[in-house]
Structure formats: structure tokens, C-alpha cells
Amino acid sequence: MKNIKNKLKLYLPFSKAGIKIELAYKAQIVMWIVISFIQTFFVLFLYNAIYRNSPDGMNSVINGFTFYDMVLYMITSFFFSFVMGGGDTSFDIWTDIKEGTIANTLTKPVSYRLRHLFTYFGVLIFDYVVIIIPFLTVVYGIFIGLGFLQVEFWKFVTNIFCFILFSILAGFINNAISYFVGMLVFFTDHLFGLNMARSALQGFLGGQMVPLAYMGALGVAFSYTPFAFMNSVPVLTIMGKLEIHSILIYLCIALLWIGIIELVNHLIFKHALRKITVQGG
């Protein structure tokens, strides 16, 4: 217990630094919120056309989603993905290498991995409290009040609890993948292409643009990839689209992915130390 307290005392300043970074760039947060609204609007315009041209019109149920389910899914998905994307660890690692600060960082008596993890969670907690909680409270309050989302009170409370739990796991997975991409920079010296590939995979396999339920058997397979836990699984959980046994299975799989990715990161980092190429000094 004492060791844990010492670790927290050592690394919590990095989380505070992450919060201060977000406070320093408030205009960026506003810009991304506006972009998320625009993206959501255009995607919902597309789905509006799809449902209107379905056999039952706007009352159609497509792959388990009504039109209002799709509206709620897309709104939740875009903003959840936005919050998950804050505090890009791969960019921080690339900056360390480019500016030459990696040499000084590695000599300090702190874990390079934990430093980035705690910094990221500082950003994540800030965005979660400032954006996700108030925004989804309003959105889900409206949908429940208008009858578009019908759910029992205690079931919804359970869904919220599971959503928060999945959000924490999503943060671990997202940061682990971002750290993995950052580790690859040691070998490629380039980040842009890697991040483009990562964003494409995350958007498609995570069900951000199209729910995985629309992809049939392929979507079922994708739902077990780590990318699904960064969007699809948490969103479906708060919407009440997952039964308790499915939630428990996904929790176990998420923990397994965290262990696998962190193990891979550890092995790559040990090898990357021999490949350091400092560009800025």
C-alpha cells in the first residue's frame, strides 16, 4: 500500500500537467466540438435518407437500430471518440525524439510508460468531466424525456456504471495503442502515416462511422478487436444494447487486450532503446 502511495505521489503531477495542457488550449477543445457537431450532422443526414427510403420509412428498424437509436449512437460515438483522442501520446513521443528531449527523459527516475499514461489520463479526466458528463446528461435526458429511449431506471443506472468502467478501460487501450504507434517512430522516424493508418482502423473497426451491427458476421469479429472498446462497446453499453453476460465477456476481453498490448509495448521499448536516433540534438 505504501509503495502504491509513493507511485501515485510520483506520477500524479504528470496528470495535473495534462489537465493544465488542456486548460491552456481551450480554443482547440471548442474547435473540435464544433467539428464533431458538423460530422454528426452530415452522417445523420445520410442515415435520414436511408431510413426514409426503407420499407417502413422512419419507423424502420435496421439491424436492431431505429432512426432515433442511430441518432443517439452517432452523437454519443462522435463525442466519445473525440474525448478518447485527446492527449496523443504518439505525438509526444515523436516530439521527444525530434527535439532530442528523449535523452534527458530516459535518465530521469520515472517510468517512461507511466509518465505518458498518467499525463494522458489527466487529459482524459478533464475532457470527460468538462465534455462527456454534461453533454451526455443533456442528450440522454432529452431522449428519455421525449420517449425516444425507453429504459428502466435501475437498468440505466447499471448501464451508466458499466459505461464509466468501459471508458476507463478504453482509456487504457487507446493510450496503449498510441504508445505502440509512438514506439514505431523509433524505427521509422515518421509519425504522420502511422497516425493516419491508426485513425482509419480506429474509425472503421471501432464502429464510429457505421455501427458494427451493420457489418454482419464481420462486425461480430470486429467487436472483439481492441478498437471496438474505444468506441462501439462503451456506446452500446450506455444505450442499453448489450446484455449483462455480453458486458462481462467484453470486460474480460478488454483486460486481455490491455495485457497483450502492454506486453508488446514493453518488448518493443526494450528493443527501441538500442535504435534511438535523436533528430534535434
* 5-26 pLDDT, tens digit each: 777 777 888 888 777 777 776 6
**Looking at the domain assignment, is residue 65 inside a domain?**
yes
Contact predicate 81/208, CB 8 Å: yes
Q: Which residues of the chain have pLDDT under 70?
A: 1-4, 25-26, 86-87, 275-281
pLDDT score for 132: 86
Give dist(CA 228, CA 203) in Å, integer: 9
pLDDT score for 10: 78
**Looking at the domain assignment, is residue 7 inside a domain?**
no
Neighbouring C-alpha atoms within 13 Å toward the C-beta of 194: 21
Give dist(CA 159, CA 189) in Å, integer: 43
Give dist(CA 79, CA 231) in Å, integer: 10
Contact predicate 164/136, CB 8 Å: no
Give dist(CA 104, CA 123) in Å, integer: 23
pLDDT score for 281: 46
pLDDT score for 265: 92
**Looking at the domain assignment, is residue 46 inside a domain?**
yes
C-alpha cell at 110: 520515472
**Looking at the domain assignment, is residue 1 inside a domain?**
no
pLDDT score for 280: 47
C-alpha cell at 273: 532503446
| Distance set, CA 35 to CA 31, 41, 42, 143, 179 (Å) | 6, 10, 11, 22, 25
pLDDT score for 87: 65
| pTM for this entry | 0.89
pLDDT score for 276: 60
**Looking at the domain assignment, is residue 4 inside a domain?**
no
**Looking at the domain assignment, is residue 137 inside a domain?**
yes
Give dist(CA 265, CA 268) in Å, integer: 5
Which residue range is the domain that position 102 belongs to?
12-272
Give me the number of domains the chain comprises. Answer: 1
Torsion of CA 44, 46, 48, 52, to 10 degrees: -170
**Looking at the domain assignment, is residue 233 inside a domain?**
yes
**Looking at the domain assignment, is residue 279 inside a domain?**
no
pLDDT score for 2: 59
C-alpha cell at 74: 452517432
